[in-house]
């Protein structure tokens, strides 16, 4: 496998001259466009209109039939000298008739496709093909940038419907929360990770077209079809905010975790789309579905909350590894449709945080320790330690009743004695949000939550103060 180094050479002026001459001659030799020799193609594109929403626009393009035929291209005068020149060029040549891309995926790049692409690019806004030096220069320079580059950019987009925020919000060098472009909406709609309101009303609302964008630079790989592709370690999950390229689903989970730890939300991601931002490699779109329709509800990140959110994101990047399982189970609770599934996840997250130090031989009185530690650790704006103790002990009982096949009867809250089960679960979610954010704020000290001495000191110190 050949990983492309940084190319210090440039495409020769003679190569450019011959390609320009060939493309100009090919355009002039195209038959006059008529109904007998035109193949109509419909390209569905989504565009943001003046109303702020995206509407589908099917563009019928007139394509002369010779442009669909390699034989026509190869019959043109100077075809062979042009191909030979491209093959011998020190920049273009190494790419031809080889698989070009990244260690994840690659496409076969042949000279004929490059020439046909350049001829296609001579189409004007009216759909007719007309050679201009300006248009050729623009397209050729873009191609040269691709051939000269040592890296290939890949883009992942995960729509988060109705995420309202003062965009763009940069989370790190790779990840951005932003409004989606026309191209991104089109690609996401093509693989059904973003949908219109209905088939009868083909509109994607502007508020729905926002989400996560991840841009990565991968070493460009050029290899023959006979070479074996380098295997990737699929077990590697990276760290919060810094995930391997093949685990974009975890990037989306990280973003959702941060939003959900900031405040209550029902925002979800339907899926993600991935493609290469590189000439001749951008037609291939891969995708992954993450949840069922509908994709959650509106979530607004206010101007004053952005700084708080970015601070939380930085804490997660630095410390999430210590509480990875608890954060993961907390996050799972938001994707559950049933309240009983939600509380099971939330109590598991709480056990991971408050009982992580307890060994198998010392698991007596877990319910009491669970509730007492939560009461001493969680700082609720209106609940006393006694209130938190009672609520968390009740949550432990509710979870135990559910997993043993029963139906919990007691879901009262200190400020709402007649609270329903879903209302009770929402309060447990709030308490766990406060607990996890406090744990993250401890930074290096957070590792002490795995030590019995920490919890003993917390409880006994409070008792010594008469709390």
CB 150 within 8 A of CB 220: yes
Query: Rounded to whole angstroms, how far apart are CA atoms 311 and 120?
Result: 48
Q: What does the pLDDT look like over 387-427, one tens digit per residue?
A: 999 999 999 999 999 999 999 989 999 999 999 999 999 99
Query: Rounded to whole angstroms, how far apart are CA atoms 84 and 142?
Result: 21
Closest CA to 247 of 256, 235, 255, 259: 235
Look at residue 82 and tell me whether its pLDDT is greater than 70: yes
Closest CA to 423 of 342, 329, 311, 323: 342
**What residues are paired with 100 via a beta bridge?**
107, 222
- Count other C-beta atoms under 10 Å from residue 244's C-beta: 17
Which residue has tokens 């329903």? 420
The enclosing H or E element of 435 equals helix 421-441
DSSP string, 106-169: EEEE-HHHHHHHHHHTTB-TTS-B---HHHHHHHHHHHHHHHH-SEEEEEEEEE-TTEE-SS-E
- Count other C-beta atoms under 10 Å from residue 81's C-beta: 12
Average pLDDT over residues 22-41: 63
Closest CA to 292 of 332, 240, 337, 247: 337
Look at residue 30 and tell me whether its pLDDT is greater than 80: no
Which 3 state secondary structure label does DSSP give 40?
A: strand
Look at residue 104 and tell me whether its pLDDT is greater than 90: no
Look at residue 292 and tell me whether its pLDDT is greater than 90: no
Q: What does the pLDDT look like over 107-117, one tens digit per residue?
A: 999 999 999 88
**pTM across the whole model:** 0.86
**What residues are paired with 175 via a beta bridge?**
214
Give all strands (DSSP E) within 20-103, no chain letters.
38-48, 54-64, 98-101
Closest CA to 9 of 112, 121, 139, 147: 147
Q: What is the model's pLDDT at position 89?
A: 95
CB 218 within 8 A of CB 245: yes
Cis upstream peptide for 168 (omega within 30°): yes
Query: Rounded to whole angstroms, how far apart are CA atoms 86 and 156?
Result: 32
Which residue has tokens 């110190």? 461
Look at residue 466 and tell me whether its pLDDT is greater than 50: no
Among positive and negative, which fits the CA dihedral 131, 137, 138, 144? positive
Strand order in the sheet with 54-64: 38-48, 54-64, 203-204
Closest CA to 223 of 99, 313, 132: 99
- Count other C-beta atoms under 10 Å from residue 75's C-beta: 11
Query: Rounded to whole angstroms, how far apart are CA atoms 209 and 165?
Result: 12
């Amino acid at each position: 496998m050949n990983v492309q180094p940084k190319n210090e050479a440039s495409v020769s002026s003679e190569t450019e001259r011959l390609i320009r001459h060939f493309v100009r001659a090919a355009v002039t030799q195209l038959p006059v466009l008529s109904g007998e020799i035109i193949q109509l193609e419909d390209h569905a594109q989504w565009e943001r209109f003046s109303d702020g929403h995206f509407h589908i626009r099917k563009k019928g393009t007139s394509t002369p039939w010779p442009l669909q035929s390699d034989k026509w291209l190869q019959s043109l005068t100077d075809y062979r000298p042009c191909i030979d020149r491209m093959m011998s060029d020190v920049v273009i040549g190494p790419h031809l008739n080889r698989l070009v891309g990244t260690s994840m995926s690659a496409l076969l790049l042949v000279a004929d496709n490059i020439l046909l692409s350049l001829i296609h690019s001579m189409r004007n806004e009216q759909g007719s093909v007309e050679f201009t030096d300006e248009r050729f220069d623009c397209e050729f320079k873009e191609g040269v940038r691709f051939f000269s580059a040592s890296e290939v950019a890949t883009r992942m987009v995960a729509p988060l419907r109705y995420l309202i925020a003062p965009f763009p919000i940069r989370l790190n060098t790779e990840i951005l929360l932003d409004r989606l472009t026309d191209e991104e909406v089109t690609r996401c709609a093509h693989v059904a990770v973003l949908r219109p309101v209905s088939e009868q009303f083909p509109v994607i609302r502007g508020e729905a077209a926002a989400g996560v964008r991840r841009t990565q630079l991968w070493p460009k790989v050029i290899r023959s079809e006979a070479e074996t592709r380098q295997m990737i370690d699929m077990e590697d999950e990276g760290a919060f905010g810094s995930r391997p390229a093949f685990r974009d689903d975890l990037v989306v989970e990280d973003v959702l975790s941060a939003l959900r730890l900031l405040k209550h939300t029902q925002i979800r991601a339907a899926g993600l789309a991935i493609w290469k931002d590189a000439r001749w490699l951008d037609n291939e779109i891969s995708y992954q579905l993450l949840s069922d329709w509908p994709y959650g509800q509106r979530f607004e990140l206010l101007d004053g909350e952005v700084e708080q959110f970015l601070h939380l994101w930085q804490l997660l990047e630095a410390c999430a590894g210590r509480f990875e399982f608890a954060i993961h189970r907390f996050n799972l609770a938001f994707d559950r449709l049933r309240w009983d599934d939600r509380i099971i996840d939330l109590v598991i997250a709480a056990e991971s945080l408050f009982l992580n130090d307890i060994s198998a031989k010392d698991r007596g009185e877990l319910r009491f320790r669970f509730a007492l530690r939560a009461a001493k650790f969680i700082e609720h704006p209106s609940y006393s330690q006694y209130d938190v103790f009672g609520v968390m002990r009740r949550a432990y009982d509710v979870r135990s009743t559910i997993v043993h096949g029963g139906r919990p009867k007691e879901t009262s809250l200190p400020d709402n004695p007649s609270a329903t089960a879903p209302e009770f679960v929402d309060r447990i979610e709030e308490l766990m949000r406060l607990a996890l954010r406090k744990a993250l704020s401890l930074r290096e000290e957070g590792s002490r939550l795995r030590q019995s001495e920490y919890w003993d000191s917390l409880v006994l110190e409070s008792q010594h103060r008469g709390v």
